[in-house]
């Protein structure tokens, strides 16, 4: 058997391997890059196979890089980049490779290096991001947010929500839309449609630190995980309808949690931690969960009255 084969020329090698067309395409990419952005040549050398897969899009990618170089940290939305032959969604569809190219082509002060991953592409390169919206319902008709509308359902960008000046003493947060819409009227209160694990936007609303905050999530490991995370921003949050009595009273509608948490949570009260540990360690039933939408409205109303009973003297009870 032969130990090796000697091929005299590159042309012979390309013909033998059937890679002549690939070589021509890659050579064209190298030539175009050398002319437009020679700083990107090391990327082509490092990722030739990926470059070949992008050969059809490569001229547009170079055009986009040139625009970024000419407009560092532009302060507009990605869809506002207007380039001939570049579809409005092209940049969004190629954020992964563009991030690698832009990190090479742009000066250091044009890149926010702390913003990592394609979800933070806009922030990394100085574009405006879609504002995070916070949706809430007013639970007291005396609180006026929209003129002529009592107890409106309102969605504001997080900045506007953070600047609200409302006579609110109590804030409820629930993760289920039906519960959000049907939540009973309460004096001096609003209810916020929850955000799962995403609390950064709400955390910028510093006026919430002066309100009682009650979180109502699912009784499962992730429900307590979300509660634990929320307490990282507002340490005075109390849980609502996330107790053993509520769980036991609704055994007929218990469900199953797909991917339970297994970690320790350190911001729970002793009672919450005991229930969380029982759920996490399958002491009641494997992967047990009670979704908040399965809790009876009569149970909600009764427990809400109990919660507010100590505040009736200060006119913070439920409203008819």
* HSE-CB for 82 with a 13 A CA cutoff: 2
Q: Indicate whether 27 pLDDT > 60.
A: yes
Cα distances (Å, whole numbers) of residue 92 to 53, 65, 287? 18, 13, 38
Is the same domain home to 118 and 144? no
Is the same domain home to 170 and 273? yes
Question: Do the domain assignments include residue 201?
Answer: yes
Number of domains comprising the chain: 2
Cα–Cα–Cα angle for 57, 58, 63, nearest 5°? Answer: 100
105 contacts: CB under 8 Å, gap ≥ 6:
37, 39, 40, 65, 68, 69
Is the same domain home to 94 and 208? no
pLDDT digits (tens, 9 = 90+) for 248-305: 999 999 999 999 999 999 999 999 999 999 999 999 999 999 999 999 999 999 999 9
Q: Where does residue 117 fall: left (phi above 0), alpha (psi -120 to 50 degrees), or beta otherwise?
A: left
Strands 133-138 and 189-193: antiparallel
Is the same domain home to 56 and 95? yes
Is the same domain home to 169 and 238? yes
Show the domain range for 269. 133-314
Is the same domain home to 33 and 164? no
pLDDT of residue 317: 66
Is the same domain home to 173 and 225? yes
Question: Do the domain assignments include residue 1?
Answer: no
Question: Do the domain assignments include residue 218?
Answer: yes
User: Please, what is the average pLDDT of the chain?
Assistant: 93
Question: Do the domain assignments include residue 256?
Answer: yes
Question: Do the domain assignments include residue 5?
Answer: no
Is the same domain home to 221 and 304? yes
Question: Do the domain assignments include residue 31?
Answer: yes
Is the same domain home to 220 and 305? yes
CB–CB of 105/39 below 8 Å?
A: yes
Percent with pLDDT over 90 in the chain: 81
**Exposure b/e, 271-297, CB count within 10 A at least 16 = b:** ebbebbeebbeeeeeeebbbbbeebee
Is the same domain home to 114 and 229? no
Q: Indicate whether 127 pLDDT > 50.
A: yes
- Mark out the alpha helices in 125-238 (DSSP H runs): 158-162, 177-182, 200-203, 221-231
Question: Do the domain assignments include residue 63?
Answer: yes
Is the same domain home to 167 and 308? yes
Question: Do the domain assignments include residue 2?
Answer: no
């Amino acid at each position: 058997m032969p130990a090796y084969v000697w091929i005299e020329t590159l042309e012979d090698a390309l013909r033998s391997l059937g890679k002549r067309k690939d070589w021509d395409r890659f050579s064209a990419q190298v030539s175009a890059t050398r002319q437009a952005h020679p700083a990107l040549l090391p990327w082509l050398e490092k990722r030739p196979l990926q470059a070949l897969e992008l050969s059809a899009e490569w001229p547009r990618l170079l055009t986009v890089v040139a625009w970024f170089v000419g407009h560092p940290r532009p302060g507009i939305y990605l869809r506002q980049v207007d380039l001939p032959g570049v579809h409005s969604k092209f940049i969004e569809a190629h954020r992964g490779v563009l991030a690698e190219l832009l990190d090479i082509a742009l000066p250091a002060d044009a890149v926010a290096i702390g913003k990592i991953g394609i979800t933070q592409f806009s922030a990394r390169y100085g574009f405006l991001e879609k504002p995070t919206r916070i949706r809430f319902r007013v639970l007291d008709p005396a609180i006026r947010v929209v003129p002529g509308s009592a107890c409106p359902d309102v969605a504001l960008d997080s900045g506007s929500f953070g600047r609200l000046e409302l006579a609110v003493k109590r804030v409820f947060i629930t993760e289920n839309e039906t519960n959000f819409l049907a939540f009973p009227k309460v004096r001096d209160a609003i209810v916020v449609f929850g955000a799962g694990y995403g609390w950064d936007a709400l955390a910028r609303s510093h006026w919430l630190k002066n309100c009682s905050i009650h979180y109502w999530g699912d009784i499962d490991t992730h429900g307590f995980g979300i509660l634990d995370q929320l307490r990282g921003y507002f340490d005075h949050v109390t849980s609502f309808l996330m107790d053993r009595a509520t769980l036991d009273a609704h055994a007929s509608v218990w469900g199953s949690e797909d991917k339970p948490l297994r970690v320790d949570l350190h911001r729970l009260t002793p009672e919450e931690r005991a229930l969380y540990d029982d759920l996490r360690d399958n002491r009641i039933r494997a992967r047990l969960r009670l979704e908040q939408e399965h809790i009876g409205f009569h149970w909600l109303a009764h427990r809400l009255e109990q919660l507010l009973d100590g505040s009736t003297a200060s006119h913070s009870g439920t409203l008819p």
